[in-house]
Amino acid sequence: MGYASFTNWRRLEGDADLVWHAFTHPAESGVYEAHRTETVLSPDFTMAAGHGWSSKHGEECDFDVVRWTITRHVPNEVFEFSGKQRGIRQHVVLTMEPADGGHIVTETIRFRPALAGSPGAQLLSWLLLAIGLLAKVGDDRGENLDLLEQHIAAR
């Protein structure tokens, strides 16, 4: 995709609603993701544009709290959300489409500069983005999709 984004995909089997929920719901995906965060949902949270949640990171990310906002949600098709961390806006697009009795799930993450975090962290993040390393470092090459597949199989 380029120096400021990456895309990963998998073909998964299972009930479409179960796959979609595990793939997109912030509390559910937090159970299996490799990069552990604490998901904080408001009492009125729904999977709809304008709603959001917070992800509290651990020591490896200096205890950052990222506020994610849903920009688009079409159940079992597309889920888009964005948030800012350390001078970078992350725009995430998760999609699902039927394929050979299963589902193709795709995650695309795009990075762009933003004013968020301390100035020192912003400059480092912007430098990593400018030289193309941010997307390379951020791309888990589908590891979370592998973990999603295992999570769904265990249900």
Number of Cβ within a 10 Å radius of residue 107: 21
Rounded Cα gap, residues 129 and 123, in angstroms: 10
Rounded Cα gap, residues 26 and 11, in angstroms: 21
3-state SS, the chain, equals CCCCEEEEEEEECCCHHHHHHHHHCHHHHHHHCCCCCEEEECCCCCCCCCCEEEEECCHHHCCCEEEEEEEEEECCCEEEEEEEECCEEEEEEEEEEEECCEEEEEEEEEEEECCCCCHHHHHHHHHHHHCCHHHHHHCCCCHHHHHHHHHHHCC
- The domains located in the chain, with CATH, are 5-153 (3.30.530.20)
- Per cent of the chain over pLDDT 90 is 55
Q: Considering the chain, what is the average pLDDT of its residues?
A: 89
Q: Model confidence over 59-111: pLDDT tens digits? A: 777 777 889 999 999 999 999 999 998 788 899 999 999 998 899 999 999 99
Say what the pLDDT of residue 33 is: 81
| pTM of the complete model | 0.90
Rounded Cα gap, residues 96 and 99, in angstroms: 9
